[in-house]
Amino acid sequence: MRTLEPASAHRRSPVLHKDGGRIVGIGHIHEHDVKTAYRRWAPVYDHTFGFVAGQGRRHVVEEINKLSGRVLEVGVGTGLSLPAYKPSLEIVGIDLSPEMLEKAHERVSEDNLTNVTGLHEMDAGELSFPDASFDVVVAMYVMTVVPDPERVMRELDRVTKPGGQVLLVNHFSQEQGLRGWVERRMAPFADKIGWRSVFDTSRVMGCKDLHLVERHSLRPLGLFTMMRFRKDMEAAERPIAAE
């Protein structure tokens, strides 16, 4: 059973997320923290983190372009991935940051992306779409940002059609080595930088209808990981509650 315990700290105490006595996350992020952080990031995102994450984004879009149907991109941000989707896919994007979405709207207009049928300001943990609305749901660089990643995974599960796919690109932390040491030192500042540096894969593995079918590290330096889930065909008979 997962518990939350305050750690001793000086400023605002970071939160330890534990599962079976093992730390699977450090730091808590509120919706206000996310909006504030990405209000600051919006003017420079494309040329900073957007650039660093570019290879992973291109790889995942290439994988999605092998598929068909209706795609939901959760955390669409400034819309960097939108021009890369093949025109036959219908793309819907959501993001919590109005400043990021404004830039995404500009990109859609400038590039005449007629296959992008909606860009919505929306909480990933409380999607307003009906059950089984999308053939593919993708969340790139999102799960370490949202306040409640387990709830978000349940929502991604809910809006995916049985037999459909959920693709994640995310940073997952290490326990050992220099990288693990740096991640733990950054962890208390999650609310300031807008993402959790300590984040375990177990936090995205809790949906029984989503089966992990592929996982591999992405460039640069293996800092990010792609995880591909397929939704059980029998899930249509089992309604999903977001809780």
pLDDT tens digits, one per residue of 45-87: 454 454 456 678 889 999 999 999 999 999 999 999 999 999 9
Domain, as residue range, for 55: 26-165+172-234
Q: Distance between CA 94 and CA 77 in Å, rounded?
A: 8
Answer yes or no: is 44 within a domain.
yes
pLDDT tens digits, one per residue of 90-138: 999 999 889 989 999 999 999 999 999 999 999 999 999 999 999 999 9
**Residue with structure tokens 């809006």?**
159
Residue 202 — very low, low, confident or very high, per pLDDT cuts 50/70/90? confident
Query: Could you tell me which residue, 9 or 170, shows the higher pLDDT?
Result: 170
Q: What pLDDT does 139 receive?
A: 96
Give the Cα-Cα-Cα angle 139, 232, 155 (nearest 5 degrees).
35
DSSP assignments along 28-81, one per residue = ---HHHHHHHHHHHTTTGGGTHHHHTHHHHHHHHHHHTTS-SEEEEET-TT-TT
Q: Which of 162, 129, 121 is nearest to 34 (CA)?
A: 121
Q: What pLDDT does 4 receive?
A: 41
Rounded CA Rg of the chain: 17
Q: Which of 138, 129, 133 is nearest to 170 (CA)?
A: 138
Answer yes or no: is 19 within a domain.
no
Answer yes or no: is 18 within a domain.
no
Other C-beta atoms lying within 10 Å of the C-beta of residue 110: 10
Q: Could you tell me which residues come within 8 angstroms of residue 97 by beta carbon, excluding any fewer than 6 positions away?
A: 34, 35, 38, 39, 42, 77, 121
Percent of the chain beyond pLDDT 70? 61
Q: How many domains does the chain have?
A: 1
Q: Which of 209, 208, 227, 207 is nearest to 217 (CA)?
A: 227
Q: What pLDDT does 29 receive?
A: 53
CATH code of residue 64: 3.40.50.150
Answer yes or no: is 239 within a domain.
no
Q: What pLDDT does 56 receive?
A: 81
Q: Distance between CA 239 and CA 159 in Å, rounded?
A: 11
Strands 70-74 and 90-95: parallel
Q: Could you tell me if 226 and 169 are in contact, meaning their C-beta atoms sit under 8 angstroms apart?
A: yes
pLDDT for residue 201 is more than 50: yes
Q: What pLDDT does 196 receive?
A: 52
**Residue with structure tokens 């859609």?**
108
pLDDT for residue 43 is more than 50: yes
Give the Cα-Cα-Cα angle 115, 224, 48 (nearest 5 degrees).
70
Q: What pLDDT does 37 receive?
A: 54
Answer yes or no: is 241 within a domain.
no
Answer yes or no: is 30 within a domain.
yes
Mean pLDDT of 203-215: 94
Answer yes or no: is 59 within a domain.
yes
Q: What pLDDT does 179 receive?
A: 47
Answer yes or no: is 225 within a domain.
yes
Q: Could you tell me if 194 and 169 are in contact, meaning their C-beta atoms sit under 8 angstroms apart?
A: no
Q: Which of 7, 34, 22 is nearest to 196 (CA)?
A: 34
Q: Distance between CA 188 and CA 200 in Å, rounded?
A: 16
pLDDT tens digits, one per residue of 140-184: 988 888 888 999 999 999 999 999 999 999 876 455 555 443 445
